[in-house]
């Protein structure tokens, strides 16, 4: 750790130690007591720390916090916070409750070990009173520690733990706290892929927006949340599961969006022979798609995820412009079968060599990465507007030098046609539905499922019901995008586009 990093972290710890208002417990399991050590190191810790403890032996840990299936998990972190906070209040409220705001910091970590080289990760959380005897609020995060050595991981854990505590106490806005989490850490040392705020201090916080902040501020490559808006850590959801992902803009979800997924799901289940309960279905949006207008539009983002939530979908927000990066991300979490759902235009983009100029191996390297392991593409057909004919995955034209590569993937069943579909839905395109909606043309309702139409009308999503001065321009832009879509031309020039 550099001296600058050390000084910055110690300065934060000292400020907390000198804050006569704060008093609490540190409970750390798995990588030493690295966060508490910082507070002892800078001096004045007796005014801040009521207790520190660790319980490395499973028998001791279970005796204190109860048995668990996973010692490094969200549930274990929750029981640690519950137990230690209850003890703090029981033992000290009468004595100090009128003059101190209590807190508990806890972490449970699987750091790099001499014997095992599994993924190094951990759960960190703080439960704290904002004022004396107020109801507590809470922040929990999940981190991936990327350093190669145990000592470096310990140091990184100590820094981000101090940053979390400092942010909880002194940053009024959650966005500021998120930005501060990597402070005093060099890039590439730690990743934060899940965060959740709860309690009275954060009653107005939408954790889906906070998840989006993690991606947009480069703290992680992807985040997830369920249909009910609950933020989840990917390993919690993907563990020993097969995965099916549909990438899209979902602006809005149309009959074609659902038809594409339903057809792929039926084929995937038949081929993988996995049970429906062992399949995770994700709707993925890329950050680039959300930045299409130059900046993040939170209302537009929430409209999309609210619609997907109403349909019961789990959402993945990622920075993966290229599909091979998405494939590698999924392979990190499961060795079960994985499927990517897309339209013919996206398949054409995958075989466009301009996307791989930054790879030494070009398109061959990208294809090799994408299909490493049990991954398969499920491709929805499209209508050729010039001829009116249906174009399927096996009928596309690729560059002459790629024909053999394409044939290899087809012959080895890496690419599958979605054959169970509604032909009428092939003429439905999200840009058309959006343009119709924004022009107050009721025809858009024929393009989307009833539950989607209902939530759009109830909440005024995407400009519904408003007299939009630029409606005509929006319609023109959407028509241009639709023509690009049908021609298989990417609307965005730097990544594979959404086709849903």
pLDDT tops 90 at residue 295? no
Mean pLDDT of 161-186: 97
Residue 233, pLDDT score: 93
pLDDT tops 70 at residue 229? yes
pLDDT tops 90 at residue 493? no
Question: Looking at residue 122, what DSSP letter applies?
Answer: E
Domain residue spans of the chain: 3-205, 236-487
The structure tokens listed for 306 are: 């609210």
Query: What's the length of the chain?
Result: 500
By DSSP bridging, strand 382-383 and strand 314-318 are unpaired
Q: pLDDT tens across 334-382, in order?
A: 999 999 999 999 999 999 999 999 999 999 999 999 998 889 999 999 9
Q: 262-274 burial, b if ≥16 CB within 10 A, otherwise e?
A: ebbbebbbeebee
pLDDT tops 80 at residue 474? no
Which class would CATH give 3-205? alpha beta
Give the mean pLDDT of the chain: 91
Residue 496, pLDDT score: 58
CA distance 341 to 374: 14
CA distance 131 to 217: 30
pTM for the predicted model, two decimal places:
0.89
Q: pLDDT tens across 243-256, in order?
A: 999 999 999 999 99
Q: Give 191's strand partners.
A: 144
Q: pLDDT tens across 27-66, in order?
A: 999 887 999 999 999 999 999 999 999 988 899 999 999 9
- Residue 273: which pLDDT band, with cuts at 50, 70 and 90? confident
Closest by Cα among 271, 403, 405 to 339: 271
Mean pLDDT of 447-452: 97
Q: CATH 3.40.50.620: does it fit domain 236-487?
A: yes
Question: What share of the chain in percent tops pLDDT 70?
Answer: 91
Closest by Cα among 280, 270, 284 to 243: 280
């Amino acid at each position: 750790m550099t001296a600058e990093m050390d000084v910055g972290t110690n300065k934060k710890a000292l400020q907390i130690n000198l804050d006569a208002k704060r008093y609490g417990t540190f409970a750390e399991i798995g990588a030493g007591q690295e966060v508490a050590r910082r507070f002892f190191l800078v001096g004045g810790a007796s005014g801040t720390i009521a207790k520190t403890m660790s319980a490395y032996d499973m028998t001791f840990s279970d005796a204190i916090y109860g048995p668990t299936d996973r010692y490094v998990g969200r549930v274990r972190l929750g029981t640690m916070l519950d137990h230690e906070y209850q003890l703090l209040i029981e033992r000290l409220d009468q004595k100090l409750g009128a003059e101190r705001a209590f807190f508990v910091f806890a972490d449970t970590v699987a750091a790099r070990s001499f014997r095992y080289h599994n993924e190094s990760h951990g759960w960190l959380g703080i439960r704290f009173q904002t004022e004396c005897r107020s109801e507590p609020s809470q922040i929990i995060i999940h981190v991936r520690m990327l350093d190669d050595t145990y000592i470096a991981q310990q140091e990184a854990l100590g820094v981000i733990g101090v940053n979390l505590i400092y942010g909880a106490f002194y940053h009024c806005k959650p966005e500021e706290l998120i930005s501060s989490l990597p402070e005093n850490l060099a890039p590439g040392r730690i990743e934060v892929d899940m965060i959740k705020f709860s309690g009275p201090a954060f009653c107005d916080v939408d954790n889906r927006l906070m998840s989006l902040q993690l991606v947009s501020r480069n703290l992680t490559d992807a985040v997830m949340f369920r249909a009910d808006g609950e933020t989840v850590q990917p390993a919690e959801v993907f563990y020993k599961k097969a995965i099916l992902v549909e990438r899209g803009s979902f602006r809005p979800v149309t009959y074609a969006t659902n038809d594409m997924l339903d057809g792929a799901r039926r084929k995937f289940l038949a081929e993988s022979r996995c049970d429906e309960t062992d399949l995770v279905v994700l709707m993925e949006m890329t950050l680039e798609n959300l930045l299409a207008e130059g900046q993040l539009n939170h209302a537009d983002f929430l409209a999309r995820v609210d619609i997907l939530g109403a349909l019961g979908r789990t959402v993945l927000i990622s920075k993966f412009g290229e599909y091979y990066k998405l494939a590698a991300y999924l392979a990190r979490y499961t060795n079960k079968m994985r499927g990517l759902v897309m339209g013919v235009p996206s398949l054409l983009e995958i075989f466009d060599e301009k996307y791989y100029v930054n790879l030494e191996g070009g398109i061959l390297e990208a294809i090799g990465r994408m299909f490493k392991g049990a991954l398969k593409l499920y491709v929805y057909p499209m209508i050729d507007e010039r001829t009116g004919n249906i174009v399927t995955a096996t009928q596309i034209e690729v560059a002459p030098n790629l024909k053999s590569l394409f044939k290899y993937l087809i012959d080895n069943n890496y690419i599958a046609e979605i054959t169970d579909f509604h032909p009428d839905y092939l003429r439905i395109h999200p840009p058309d539905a959006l343009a119709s909606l924004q022009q107050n043309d009721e025809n858009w309702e024929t393009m989307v499922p009833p539950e989607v139409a209902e939530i759009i009308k109830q909440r005024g999503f995407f400009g519904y019901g408003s007299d939009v001065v630029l409606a005509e321009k929006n319609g023109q832009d959407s028509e241009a995008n639709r023509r690009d879509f049908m021609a298989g031309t990417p609307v965005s020039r730097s990544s594979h586009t959404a086709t849903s």
